[in-house]
Amino acid sequence: MTKLSVNINKIATLRNARGGNVPDVIKAAQNIEAFGAQGITVHPRPDERHITYKDVRDLKPILKTEFNIEGNPHEQKFIDLVLEVKPHQVTLVPDTQGQITSDHGWDTIANKDYLTEIISLFKKNNIRTSIFVDPNLQMVKGAKETGADRIELYTEEYARLFFTEKEKIIQPFTAAAKLAGELGLGVNAGHDLSLDNLKYFKEHVPNLLEVSIGHALICDALYLGLENTVQLYLRQLK
């Protein structure tokens, strides 16, 4: 079964546009869980332009499903936050300062020593670790060498080319997921997955444990309603 973890950053972005607490990020997360999602994802950035560090702390005690925190471990305050909150999973993303959204995976070979060290720290605190990677077999092998529990396949290119060459663009993702399974790595995926492309991805990528979806799902919810949208995404994963 592939789990749906909903990234709620965009809800926080809307709240922060006016200040105050509307929409209520905590209530939205609880509703998303009640509507059937099996996890909540947040990606706090140093400038706290959407999810704030306070949000992360407030979410932990109220969530009933899996809590996944994404972020750049080069930021010490991110490391401190994760060790304090102790989510079920931390997903390490190689963002740069001020980056609008994630746009590439780790070079797990060049960053092997650093990743091995930080992953060891999180695992000692009983936090499952996942590394954001492109669908490159060498990067998947490198992820295994760091001691990570899972990889998260960066799916932007798949989404971008889905309507013009889906049979071709899915192939590296299928191969990467297959290799990960052979190496004993769990497989997650995320970035620009949507109602249009999710089902095909799920059908062609083996060993897929979890997808993290935020932007498209929240946009769809504006038209379709949040409960209905969560149910529609869950249906694509069956």
Which residues are identified as catalytic? Answer: 43, 70, 191
The count of residues in the chain is: 238
Phi, psi of 65 (to 5 degrees): -110, -170
Question: How many Cβ atoms are within 10 Å of 44's Cβ, its own excluded?
Answer: 25
What is the C-alpha to C-alpha distance for residues 124 and 23, in angstroms, rounded to an integer? 36
What is the C-alpha to C-alpha distance for residues 86 and 67, in angstroms, rounded to an integer? 9
Whether 86 and 125 have beta carbons less than 8 Å apart is answered as yes
Long-range contacts formed by 23-27: CB under 8 A, 24+ apart: 25/51, 25/55, 25/59, 26/55, 26/58, 26/59, 26/62
Whether 185 and 148 have beta carbons less than 8 Å apart is answered as yes
Q: Per the omega criterion (within 30 degrees of 0), is the bond before 44 cis?
A: no
